[in-house]
Structure 1
Amino acid sequence: MTARFHNPVDTRFGWGSLQQLAAITQQHKVALVTFPEARGLGLVARIEELLGERLVYVIEDVQPNPDVAHLRDTYERFWADADDCSMVIAVGGGSAIDTAKALIVGTESGRFDELLALLATGKPFVPARSKQLIAAPTTAGTGSEVTPWATIWDSASLKKYSLHLDCTWPKVAIIDPQLMLTVPASVTVSTGLDALSHALESIWNVNANPISDTFAMAAIADILDCLPRLLRDLSSQELRTRMALAALKAGMAFSNTKTALAHSISYEMTLRHGLPHGIACSFTLPLVLGLAWGHDQERDQTLQRIFGSDLAKAQAQLRDLLHSVGVKTEFADYGVTAQDAEAIIQFALQGARGKNFIGCQAA
């Protein structure tokens, strides 16, 4: 059996690598998509200085978990006012990058509801027009800078849409740990656990292969060691760099496998219980590890290279890590009854990501 690994993103990593933005964007008119606090942190001014007159449009009101209610107006103004730009740079966490991915997919009419109608079919499509994307994450966790996927939420209808096209692979990813120095502890935890989930989900996955495993195992080892230490020293250049690299490795792993059951569970927990994404997809990791164990000898061997051969100890290690960073690990902790939790798990197993889980058939 041969393994195939594909990732088309031109990836730049290292302290101060945002400086490369000027060279990357030559001959382009550029739009910036970023989060509301970016201007106060000096990020907008820095990008204006790097790009000069090439920066023709700025969106700086990205909201967490991009929702159709907010995206509709942003999308339609973007295509009406910035149609002449050929490149979009997203600077921020997963929400900024996901927002940018939605924006670069142009419809014939320039109307957002046309895009939603295409996404609702669940089938691939070729957009009428598109723009190139550069992704510069300011958090260590999203992985969106090296994957094509974006999640668009419709909280009013309790639905989500998954966007995944050839054009939504970023052309360039710039992972500059210097951008992460100001990330507060709560976001450092949530995004770091999102990365841990990406790595584990790529292992207990029907699409796993030895190449994705290599990235995933390296990411998990670094996160288990690094995240608790980083929370005690948020200004550490060394630890920020290690976490940024670990998150990148996790992103590379699931860029080829997609996520699995923990993420599928997370969508319901975010829509119905308001949990931030990184918490929603990580609090069940000890539970899902137990559900994964014993279904596939090769997957077991990979997991045991990380955690050892004792399942109870492996679950305790994950549970202890989560508790040490202030994350509770039971459905009841989030107001979910045992009956509702079982219903959420069974529903999640039927979703596209749930079907990637190695224990799906047995369940």
Structure 2
Amino acid sequence: MSACFHNPVSTVFGAGSLARVAELCTGKVTLVTFPEAAQLGLVERVRGLLGERLVCVIDTVQPNPDVAWLRDVHERFWAEHGDCDSVFALGGGSAIDTAKALIVGTQSGSFDELLELLASGKPFTPARHKPLIAAPTTAGTGSEVTPWATLWDSARQKKYSLHLACTWPQVALIDPQLMLSVPGRVTVSTGLDALSHALEAIWNHNANPISDTFAVSAIEDILDCLPQLQQDLANPELRARMALAALKAGMAFSNTKTALAHSISYEMTLRHGLPHGIACSFTLPMVLGLAWGRDGERDRTLQKVFGPDLASAQQRLRGFLHRLGVHTEFEDYGVTAAEAEAMIDEAMQGARGRNFIGSQAA
């Protein structure tokens, strides 16, 4: 059986690689980053590397970027800095997702025109766009090697998924030293996002032997490394291992997309306020049970990590999450059994849910 794997992102990995930003970004540059970046000295570091080529800094990125905030930022960017040559995203998934939204310009200059195109669900070619270089400061999002960005509309309780040929970053610049200051809670949440990406790439209709290779390696590394890192946040070796594991997980799901756990997570984030990494990972033991036995090849891949017994596999995964301080039952988050069942049924029908090999299980 033939397999096709495609990822157009050039990847630079290694401690100190932020220093290469000047050669990777062309012409005049806009920096998109998170509010604490200035306090951490990151904005000045980038300014020192780019000099006068840094023409704009957008450092008001919020977690789970909401369209109500994005509208003004997007329209002001194109009105005031539409002549910049490239965009440099420095931050976690929210910063990179924000940058992906900003680089897609509309004919009218209106952000609502972009939302209307996304709401239509039909493919489109943007009127204009900018090249993107992405440097993650957390180990987990994978957004630096994928084309997807999630935009949230909390007022309407919905989300938009942005993915175009131009929203693949041109370069992913992964410098583990940028992750040394990430606090424990965020380290765990983003690390679990990466674990979910890797598992979701396996129990997926779009999986193939190449994506499996990245996914299995990522899972093994995360299961071993993340608990150690939680106890030793300043360890550069552990930070580098998690950065590489997250990259491998990103490479895996860049070809498969995510599946049921992520489909459930959107509802948990919108309606129950769970951080994304927790929302997409607390169900992993349950989803593993729904996946097991559905496809012999998928079982064999999962068993490379967890062994041949489902109960032991679920217990290992559940114990891993508990060790990190993550609850694994819906009721732990105020969701009743009936609500959870309805949520799972609805998630199975979503675009990501349909990628799941057990999508007929509910």
Common fold, TM-score beyond 0.5?
yes
User: Counterparts of 1:304-319 in structure 2 under 5 Å?
Assistant: 304-319=303-318
SS of structure 2 residue aligned to 1:222: helix
- In structure 2, C-alpha distance between the alignment counterparts of 1:306 and 1:179, rounded to whole Å: 30
Does residue 105 of the first structure (1) align with residue 104 of the second (2)? Answer: yes
Matched with 1:168 is: 167
Q: How does 1:65-214 map to 2 (within 5 A)?
A: 65-214=64-213
The residue number in structure 2 matching 1:322 is: 321
Offset at residue 122 of structure 1 (A) = 1.0
Shift of 1:6: 0.3
The alignment partner of 1:89 has SS state of strand
Aligned to 2:239: 240
Q: 2: CA distance between counterparts of 1:329 and 1:91?
A: 31
Look up the match of 1:302. Answer: 301
- The offset of 1:96, in angstroms, is 0.2
1:116, 1:25 → 2: CA distance?
28
1:361 to partner: Cα distance: 2.6
TM-score normalised by structure 2 residue count: 0.99
Amino acid in structure 2 at the alignment position of 1:12: V
1:319 and 1:198 map into 2 onto residues whose CA distance is 17
User: CA offsets per residue over residues 238-283 of structure 1, 9 Å max, x none?
Assistant: 0000000000000000000000000000000000000000000000
In structure 1, what residue type is equivalent to 2:24? I
Q: How many residues align?
A: 362
Question: In 1, distance between residues paired with 2:122 and 2:278?
Answer: 29
Look up the SS of the partner of 1:278 in the other structure: helix
User: What's 1:10 paired with?
Assistant: 10
Q: Structure 2: how far apart are the matches of 1:351 and 1:49?
A: 45
**CA offset digits 1:193-233 (Å, max 9, x no partner):** 00000000000000000000000000000000000000111
**Structure 1 position 362, deviation (Å):** 3.6
Distance in 2, matches of 1:61 and 1:235, equals 26
Matched ranges for 1:8-87 at <5 A: 8-26=8-26, 28-87=27-86
Q: Matched residues in 2 for 1:11 and 1:361: separation?
A: 37
Counterpart check, 1:285 vs 2:284: yes
Query: Shift in Å at residue 25 of structure 1?
Result: 2.0
Code of the aligned partner of 1:253: A
8 Å contact kept, 2:135–2:174: yes
Q: How many Å separate the matches in 2 of 1:37 and 1:335?
A: 32
Could you tell me whether the CA contact under 8 Å between 2:330 and 2:336 is conserved in 1?
Answer: yes
CA distance in 2, matches of 1:242, 1:136: 16
Cα distance in 1 for residues equivalent to 2:7 and 2:20? 21
Residue deviations 1:36-69 (CA, integer Å, cap 9, x gap) = 0000000000000000011111100000000001
SS in 2 for 1:115: helix
The reply to whether residue 223 of structure 1 matches residue 222 of structure 2 is: yes
Amino acid at match of 2:168: W
1:308-331 C-alpha deviation (Å, 9 max, x unpaired)? 011011001111111111100000
Kept after mapping to 1: 8 A contact 2:269/2:275? yes
Q: CA deviation at 1:130?
A: 0.1
Whether the aligned pair in 1 keeps the contact of 2:201 and 2:212 (CA below 8 Å) is yes
In the TM superposition, what is the alpha-carbon distance from 1:24 to its structure 2 partner?
1.3
Cα separation, 1, equivalents of 2:238 and 2:59: 28
SS at 2:248 equivalent? helix
Q: What is the rounded CA distance, in whole Å, between the counterparts of 1:62 and 1:10 in structure 2?
A: 25
Distance in structure 1 (CA, Å) of the matches to 2:198 and 2:129: 30
Structure 1: gaps spanning 5 or more residues = none
Moved over 4 A (4+): none
Please name the residue that 2:253 is paired with: 254
Q: Which whole-Å CA distance do the structure 1 matches of 2:122 and 2:174 have between them?
A: 31
Which amino acid in structure 2 is aligned with residue 239 of structure 1? L
Question: Distance in 2 between the 1:87 and 1:22 partners?
Answer: 11
Q: Retained in 1: the 8 A contact 2:290–2:361?
A: no
**SS of equivalent to 1:6:** coil
TM-score by length of 1: 0.99
Distance 1:149 1:25 in 2: 21
- How far, CA to CA, are the matches of 2:95 and 2:354 in structure 1? 28
Match of 1:358 in 2: 357
What letter corresponds to residue 74 of structure 1 in structure 2? V
Instruction: Quote the Cα distance in structure 1 between the aligned partners of 2:293 and 2:120.
Output: 36
